[in-house]
Amino acid sequence: MRGSSRLPTPPSPGFAGRPISPGAIPPGADVLGAHPRLAAIDPATDENPLGHVLAALLAGSGATRGFAVDPAVTQRRAAIGLTPGSGALARLDRFLEQTGPAATAFPEGLGAELLAPASAHDARVVPLTARDETLALVLIDRPPQDPVGFASVAAHAASILAVIRMSQRVSRADFELKYRVWELQSLYDVGLSIAGTLDLDSLAEDILMKSISLLNARTGTLIVRTTGGDAGDGVLVKHFGPPLAGPEVLSSLPDHACRWNGRAERIGDLASAPAEKLLLAPIVAEGRALGVLLMGDKENRAGGVDDFSPGDERILSLFGNQAAIALENARLHREAVEKERMEREIEVAASIQKTILPAALPRVAGLMLAGGNRPTRQVGGDYFDVFPLPDGRTAFCVADVAGKGVPAALLVSTVHACLRILLDLGVADLPGFVARVHRHLLGFSSTRKFVTLFFAVYDPVRREVRYVNAGHNPGVRLAEGEATLLPSSGPPIGILPECTHREASVSLGPGDTLVLYSDGITEAVNAADEEFGMERLIDLVRSGQDEPPEALSGCIFGAVSEFTRGVAQYDDQTVLIVRAC
Amino acid sequence: MSEILKVTVERPDAAVAILRTDGYINNAGGEEIARQAYALMGGGVNRLLLDLEKTKIVNSIGISILIEILEKLLDAGGRLAFCRLTPTIEKTFQIMGLAQYARIFPAPDPAVSWLRGETD
């Protein structure tokens, strides 16, 4: 692994050089011997060649003791023939910390301290520079014996160090480039995950881990409000390391990313977050703050903590955006699933209702019958039917069950079955009959199960209609041009443990008409939110008294449509017309 | 998974060592791996397998330390293998260049065979 095949090198503080034995340095100046020492340095592998450089400079100068340091990476240093005291090294560190890589000489007295206990009387400082950059500060304990030859050795050493510096920079740049590719790949992978899953829990984990990883953070926390997906509704919290915040932080989120490289500026509960430095990115969708991504303490190679940078803020904001997209996807998915579920339910309910409502009304001697039902999009629970009885009478009803969809359709089915069975047992006492239906419905398991019911029996001999109206809209009887309402005599059935209803009766002579209907007719609304109402219905019945029942039924439905003009209605519309002849 | 890395060392034979990690390969985690690896190399063991089954997260500093370990191993004529990486970490190693000089295996056994020179 040499030359160009060498692995990319990340930013590194390097390693402290070790003293080299003075026995390695030949006595007297050896300019010609110094150059091969420098030529033996491999720029590709020697990250800290200061020991070899110092040895070559001592050989080329005739000095026997020396010290060298890289002012840009102060841990890189070498000493030959001496061991500087800790006080001198500490002073050197302070000096280089102040001057940085620009230092070209040691301050007053420091050279003597570094060389002590050797004499510093003739000490010389040799800065090795290239392109105005100090690559090393070299201290030798005496002046070079051959200044011209030594200058060539120093120039050679500087060129070697420059090549090494360049090699390290290229290597770092390569590492940085790969790091950017990694960064982009991570964002791309999160994007793919978002497209491929609705598992918010694992997505949140993925986003948190990738954020921590790319930002070199020590800890991290992700908190989001969930409104869909497998995680359901609520707050999803993920931590890596000690929690940086709890769900309460959602109540006071900034609307933009924030870097807090000190504790003083932090807001709210974040002031006590267990991290020296903090980076925050809100997770925002459609202007609403859904959550937050928090990173704690960006570590460096030396074991310390660096400030979070604007670039870090940008990366975390991108991950925050990804999280927002994931949450939005989950919400849209939930809505789509709910819509699909409702449509399936409507189809099932409509199918049930269609099988229960009479496809055609029976032909009954002495009566003209017409009826129809117009379900709304949500499918409600209207029901009507006509039952010729064995004794020549005819029973008929209109009912409206509570609720919508499949539960309502099932309740209609129950009412239908119940009426059929009980009618087979005979219907002499109408309140008793309705009470039996009521008791049956009380056992029905649905929670919202009440039913309004207009139940009537027509006796062709007596030309009379007996009826029980249990919480239903009043029937309309039209006789000789006069409209009479047949009101309710008690509550809907199936709701109260005990309820009783009174029977009433009206005559229905030849030409008289009885119109039963559901509240979907009288409570149909138009764009102005006005109801169709009883008056319009009675007017229609009155004006259509000479029309066949089928035509009157069509007229009522037509008038309601004309009134509502396409405004969506939320109740089924049902009409049953009974006319004696 | 903890943010503090633990390393356990297993020696299937005298020439090969398996370092099993559990936790975050960051600066501290990487240094712990390096400490164990250099101790093994100092004892003449330069064929190392890093089993990352219980590591789900690695950062760039951890990667840089792994690169340093790999360089030292290769300079010493040794080999480095990884096994049981998460897909994310495997992709990261490929992007960052580690996979060019170290081999990645799905399981420990084929990795140990490769380290012993039994397979290509």
pLDDT at A402 over 70: yes
For A7, the closest of B26, B88, B97 (CB atoms) is B97
Average pLDDT over residues A10-31: 48
B-chain CB neighbours of A175 within 8 Å are: 60, 64, 96
Asked if B94 reaches chain A (Cβ–Cβ under 8 Å), the answer is no
Burial B31-67 (b: 16+ CB within 10 A, else e): bbbbebbeebbeeebbbbbbbbeebbbbbbbbbbbbb
A-chain CB neighbours of B70 within 8 Å are: 7
pLDDT at B26: 95
- What is the full DSSP assignment across A89-157? HHHHHHHHHHHGGG--SPPTTHHHHHHTTS--TT-EEEEEEETTEEEEEEEESS--SSHHHHHHHHHHH
pLDDT at A204: 87
pLDDT at A120 over 80: no
The residue in chain A having the minimum alpha-carbon distance to the alpha carbon of residue B63 is A10
In a mutational test of the A interface, the residue from B95, B98, B100, B101 whose CB has the highest number of chain A CBs within 10 Å is B95
The residue in chain B having the minimum alpha-carbon distance to the alpha carbon of residue A186 is B88
Average pLDDT, chain A: 85
The band of A446, judged by pLDDT with boundaries at 50, 70 and 90, is low
The residue in chain B having the minimum alpha-carbon distance to the alpha carbon of residue A216 is B59
| Cα separation, B94 vs A182, whole angstroms | 9
Asked if A214 reaches chain B (Cβ–Cβ under 8 Å), the answer is yes
| Kind and range of the H or E run holding A312 | helix A310-356
pLDDT at A14: 33
Query: What are the φ and ψ backbone dihedral angles of A12, each rounded to 5 degrees?
Result: -140, 140
Asked if B101 reaches chain A (Cβ–Cβ under 8 Å), the answer is yes
CA distance A298 to chain B (A): 11
pLDDT at A126 over 80: yes
ipTM of the complex: 0.91
CB contact under 8 A, A7 and B88: no
Lowest pLDDT segment from A14-18, A415-419, B11-15, B76-80: A14-18
Q: Which residues pair with A236 in a beta bridge?
A: A224
Lowest pLDDT segment from A245-254, A273-282, A385-394, A570-579: A245-254
CB contact under 8 A, A7 and B70: yes
CB contact under 8 A, A212 and B70: no
pLDDT at A534: 96
A-chain CB neighbours of B56 within 8 Å are: 209
Average pLDDT over residues A548-569: 94
In chain B, positions 23-82, which contact chain A (CB-CB < 8 Å)? Answer: 24, 26-28, 31, 56-61, 63-64, 67-68, 70-71, 74-75
Burial class (CB in 10 A: 0-12, 13-18, 19+), A256: exposed
pLDDT at A154: 93
Average pLDDT over residues A157-185: 88
Asked if B109 reaches chain A (Cβ–Cβ under 8 Å), the answer is no
Residue range A245-300, pLDDT digits in tens: 998 888 888 888 888 888 777 777 788 889 999 999 999 887 888 899 999 999 99
The residue in chain B having the minimum alpha-carbon distance to the alpha carbon of residue A304 is B27
The band of A232, judged by pLDDT with boundaries at 50, 70 and 90, is low
Give the pTM: 0.60
